[in-house]
Amino acid sequence: MVYVQLDEVAPFEISIDSFTEFPPEIDCCACYFSKKFDAFNLGEYIYMDDFRVKFAFMKLDGEMRNLL
């Protein structure tokens, strides 16, 4: 087992970006979320998954990623 002191861990940042297009894998019911209500009304999402939860998407550091 390796133990690391917290002061030895380098800090990092992740950018959570919004996206406006549904990924092609989302072809049925979906859950999707935005940072703010106004962004949701504009179709700017930060998270999306399909009803069957086979796919879950976020745009992190400018790159769309499937989290599952």
Confidence of residue 66 (pLDDT cuts 50, 70, 90): very high
Residues 6+ apart with CB under 8 A from 46: 16, 17, 18, 19, 33, 34, 35, 58, 59
Distance CA 54, CA 49 (A): 8
CA distances from 27 to 18, 46, 52, 62 (A): 20, 18, 11, 23
* Long-range contact pairs involving 35-40 (C-beta distance under 8 Å, separation at least 24): none
- Quick check: 6 pLDDT over 80? no
Confidence of residue 13 (pLDDT cuts 50, 70, 90): confident
Confidence of residue 27 (pLDDT cuts 50, 70, 90): confident
pTM of the model: 0.77
